Amino acid sequence: MDWKGYTLIYVVLFVFATIQAVVEFVGLVDSAYWLAFGIIMVLSVVKAVGVAAYYQHLISEPRSVTYMILGGTLGAIALTGAAAYSIV
Amino acid sequence: MPTTSSLQIGADDLAFPRLNALSYWLYLFSGILVGVSFFQGSTFAGGWTMYAPLNTPAYIPGEGLGATSVVLALIMFTAAVTMGSVNFLTTMYRMRAEGLRMRDIPIFSLSINLTVWMMLFAFAALLAALMILASDHVIGTTYFQFANDGSTLGTSAENPGASLLWAHLFWFFGHPEVYIVFFPALGAMAEIFQTFTGRRLVGRKWFIISMVLVAIQSFIVWMHHMFLTGINLPIKTIFMATTIGISLPFDLMVFSLIYTMAKGRVRFKTPFLFSLGALLLFILGGITGVFLGAIVLDYQFRGTYWVVAHFHYVMFGGATALIGGLYYWYPKMTGKMYDEFLGKVHFATFFVGFNLLYFPMFIAWETPRRVFEYPADLQIWHNLSTVGGFILGASMLVMFYNLFVSIWRGEDAGESPWKYASTAEWAVGSPPKLENFPGLPSYASGSLEFLDDEEVAERTGKPPGAGVAADGGTASDGGTARNIRAVTAPATPTAAAHETGGEGHASHASFWPFLVSLGGFIAFLGLSGVRTGSPVYVGMAAVGGLATVGSLVGMTRESFHAPEMAIAERWPFEGVEKMKLGMWTFLASDVVLFGGFIGSYAFVRVAYGWSDWHHDLIPAEHVTMPGLINTYLLLTSSFLVVLAMVAAKREWRGATTASLAGTFALGVGFLVNKGIEWNHLFHIHSEMFPNGWTLSTNIGSSTFYLTTGLHGAHVVVGLVICGYMTIRAWNGAYQGDDKPIEYFGLYWHFVDIVWLFLFPLFYIL
Ligand SMILES: [Cu+2]
């Protein structure tokens, strides 16, 4: 990827971060908490995937590297999700 | 074990020899630190599960400094384990002999491979648990205790998730840990079965699939250790199902071993006897474990001798296979044969003693565990156990005598004393030479050969990577039994053949790993007592910290070159150079580390009440803006790192330096901004928080400071590397070679990604 591609990614990341803050500033977190929660977390996931895919070049590595990271991520999600569910 | 498996895969060393030295020294010093803890008043006395809140200072009698030392020592140990895991995996995926596909590596090496995968992820979760615990001890966060200031015991209303949080983190590590201990034994068992039945494992493919399944499933059964806690019934039911489910792949492995025996011609040598014994013990241990996995039965069996008996049948059963492995590889390690008759005597007494010791415990299962009183009518069984214990212990003396005396009196073992042993370690002399092989091992022709210098040069003269015949290999560990000595006969060791591609064997002599570990030891010993304010402890923490950082810098500056193998099998990581693969592997474990921290935050917040959290625990002064600014700073710094790569590739020295310097400046800006924010929050005087909002104020402040603090520490490490690279770039480095920048970038972008989640979780939601 050349500098133009990197710049495009950067702009998208910047805008998404701003949207996350705007969601709070317009009061959505207070009025519709779980909707705001959903929007914000989805944006975070999209940003993370963007950084991993293009800045860390996962897109051009063998897929096995992605699977390895996904493995760790799944473990962390299993721990968080199941533990939290166990006490609700 | 490392030696055996590196021999089996055809590697001449580990991928990162100096990192290996570092993990060894850290491991040693972690042990010394535990030893020292006994002299600090009292050491940790909470058992191996270290349950909360009894693992926190408020609940430990006296000053509890020794307990803190143990927690810190375990962190050091876990760091050593993680480095070892990264090293092993990189070795196995980058340094296999040509033609040796993953599915063909000997079953013992495969068991080690899966063990290390489990270690990589499980120990990262343990590291999270230990770091949080250490922070409760040293800097006064309140994750695992109800008390908020360390002297008064508060109520659970302030932090209702405290003790369950520890149980979750610990057992998420603890169950895989049991398999981490057991898997090498399983691999040795299967290896020995093959050699002494003269047959390849029946259903080898399914055996491997079962092992992989068990390794994965081991991460989703942990709550069977928590059936008697207050977790809800639906989750218990789910974990009962996953637990019983994990016995299915184990059943497949057991059947495979039994059929292998039935189809082959068994030779009852000592290693096989121990392996067969281990299989029988494991079957009994496994079946009795399924009882414990059922919720209702666990209500009865928990904390009784049923557990003690089950556990020993499984784990000591595993050790039985390892004793078999010791006899099996003893000729390889020493070059001498042990005495077969004494070996059989050992097995007979061992097996009788074992069952006499542990089987009566199933019958006397109503005996409470860890309590010395029990109903009088059970006494006969306990007496039998005692006799069995003595027989078992005495049997081991026979082995020590046998193995010790055989070093002098044993017959020469030659390359291989076992008729149908087919794995690569039996193709070299006993004991193996330091460089492992007489030349570069290759299975490309279908059987093991050693390439000399000329062949390697001829092959690598072709375009890199193209010469590797990825599909040419056939099963390495004996599609059918064959005699490896015949196979390897043509491979005459040539002079200097061990030098692959002109590179000598990498020198391991470096003082830096030792000094780094020594510095870490002093720093941790100091940290254990900083809460007392004693100048001695504070001084040790400071001096040790400086020594560690200084030695790390020294280690970085030392020139050190461990060449990649000239020709190797690298699926599924072809094209990922070893430094890059090492970095990615480390990051995978770091994902779990941060996952543990973020998961802990989510857990205690759910326990407290997700929506009340913000209202009750977080001051109004904690606003979004500093977090947003820091998000912008980090995103921009990541952008500059990729620009530095572009500039380095195009050999624009000025632009490379400027981009790296910019990254550095933005990282510093991030920390300064955070410092201002923290300082402000520490000193607020509101009605809710008249004394500021500090680490110990409540569970909300604890999670905020510690989680973002761990991230900040990652930023600091990144800045040290970035600063170093900026100076090197200024001096003209990296032009035309952007790889070092790329590797640093992998780390830096990861730190960036973590922040992308911390920002919303701790500033918005
Ligand atoms: Cu378990």
Residue-wise pLDDT for A19-57, tens only, equals 999 999 998 998 999 999 999 999 999 999 999 999 999
The DSSP H or E segment spanning B271 is: helix B270-293
Q: What is the pLDDT of residue B416?
A: 86
Shortest distance between the Cα of A37 and any Cα of chain B, in A, equals: 7
Q: What is the pLDDT of residues B16-57, one digit of tens each?
A: 999 999 999 999 999 999 999 999 988 999 899 999 988 998
The CATH number, out of the four listed (1.10.3720.10, 3.40.50.300, 1.20.120.80, 3.40.1110.10), of the domain defined by the range B609-765: 1.20.120.80
A72, B161: Cβ pair inside 8 Å?
no
Q: Whole-prediction pTM value?
A: 0.92
Of the listed ranges B127-131, B138-142, B154-158, B415-419, the least confidently predicted one is B154-158
What type of residue is B531?
R
Of the listed ranges B93-97, B395-399, B420-424, the least confidently predicted one is B420-424
Taking domain B178-420, whether its CATH number is 1.20.210.10 is answered by yes
Tell me, rounded to whole angstroms, the distance of Cα B178 from its chain centroid: 12
Residue B326 above 70 pLDDT? yes
Q: What is the pLDDT of residue B488?
A: 35
B498 against B559, higher pLDDT: B559
Q: Is the Cβ of B121 closer than 8 Å to some Cβ of chain A?
A: yes
Q: Which residues of A touch B741 (CB under 8 A)?
A: none
Nearest-by-CA chain A residue for B627:
A21
**Boundaries of every domain in chain A:** 1-56, 62-88
Q: Check if the beta carbon of residue B693 is closer than 8 Å to that of residue B619.
A: yes
Q: What is the pLDDT of residue B476?
A: 38
A86, B232: Cβ pair inside 8 Å?
yes
Query: What's the burial of B336, exposed, middle or buried (CB within 10 Å: 0-12/13-18/19+)?
Result: buried
A14, B231: Cβ pair inside 8 Å?
no
**C-alpha radius of gyration, chain A, whole number:** 16
* Mean pLDDT calculated for residue range B163-188: 96
Q: Report how far ligand 1's centroid is from the alpha carbon of B218 (Å).
A: 8
Please name which of B722, B749, B715 lies closest in space to residue B656, comparing C-alpha atoms. B722
Residue B145 above 90 pLDDT? no
B576, A62: Cβ pair inside 8 Å?
yes
Nearest-by-CA chain A residue for B161:
A87
DSSP string, B10-26: T-SS-S-HHHHHHHHHH
B462 against B239, higher pLDDT: B239
A79, A80, A85, best to mutate vs chain B, most B CBs in 10 Å:
A79
> At residue B449, what are phi and psi to the nearest 5 degrees?
-135, 165
Give the tokens for residue B352: 């009788």
Shortest distance between the Cα of A3 and any Cα of chain B, in A, equals: 7
Shortest distance between the Cα of A21 and any Cα of chain B, in A, equals: 7
Nearest-by-CA chain A residue for B219:
A75
Shortest distance between the Cα of B591 and any Cα of chain A, in A, equals: 6
Q: Which residues of B touch A73 (CB under 8 A)?
A: 591, 595
Q: What is the pLDDT of residue B63?
A: 87
Residue B507 above 70 pLDDT? no
Q: What is the pLDDT of residue B442?
A: 85
**Closest Cβ–Cβ partner in A13, A57, A62 for B572:** A62
**Boundaries of every domain in chain B:** 178-420, 424-504, 511-559, 609-765
Which ipTM was obtained for this model?
0.98
B366-to-A77, B307, B308, B313, B382 alpha-carbon distances in Å: 39, 10, 11, 18, 12
Q: Which residues of A touch B607 (CB under 8 A)?
A: 87
Q: Is the Cβ of B636 closer than 8 Å to some Cβ of chain A?
A: yes
Q: What is the pLDDT of residue B150?
A: 43
A52, B639: Cβ pair inside 8 Å?
no
B596, A87: Cβ pair inside 8 Å?
no
Q: Which residues of B touch A58 (CB under 8 A)?
A: none
Q: What is the pLDDT of residue B41?
A: 86
Q: What is the pLDDT of residue B568?
A: 87
Nearest-by-CA chain B residue for A4:
B643
**C-alpha radius of gyration, chain B, whole number:** 28
* Mean pLDDT calculated for residue range B71-77: 98
Q: Which residues of B touch A33 (CB under 8 A)?
A: 611
Q: 3-state class of A27 per DSSP?
A: coil
Q: What is the pLDDT of residues A48-87, one digit of tens each?
A: 999 999 999 999 999 999 999 999 999 999 999 999 999 9
Q: Which residues of B touch A48 (CB under 8 A)?
A: 753, 756-757
Residue B667 binned pLDDT confidence (cut-offs 50, 70, 90): very high
Q: Report how far ligand 1's centroid is from the alpha carbon of B221 (Å).
A: 7
Q: Check if the beta carbon of residue B599 is closer than 8 Å to that of residue A83.
A: yes
Residue B302 binned pLDDT confidence (cut-offs 50, 70, 90): very high
Q: Which residues of B touch A57 (CB under 8 A)?
A: 742
Nearest-by-CA chain A residue for B574:
A62
Q: Which residues of A touch B171 (CB under 8 A)?
A: none
CB pairs under 8 A between A and B: 164
Residue B316 binned pLDDT confidence (cut-offs 50, 70, 90): very high
Computed over every residue of chain A, the mean pLDDT equals 94
Shortest distance between the Cα of B259 and any Cα of chain A, in A, equals: 33
Give the tokens for residue B557: 């500056």
What percent of chain B shows pLDDT beyond 90? 75
Q: Which residues of B touch A77 (CB under 8 A)?
A: 595
* Mean pLDDT calculated for residue range B466-488: 35
Computed over every residue of chain B, the mean pLDDT equals 89
A14, B632: Cβ pair inside 8 Å?
yes
Distance CA B387, CA B80 (A): 40
B433 against B146, higher pLDDT: B433
Residue B157 binned pLDDT confidence (cut-offs 50, 70, 90): low
A75, B636: Cβ pair inside 8 Å?
no
Q: What is the pLDDT of residue B487?
A: 34
Residue B206 above 60 pLDDT? yes
* Cβ neighbours of B83 (radius 10 Å): 23
Shortest distance between the Cα of A2 and any Cα of chain B, in A, equals: 7
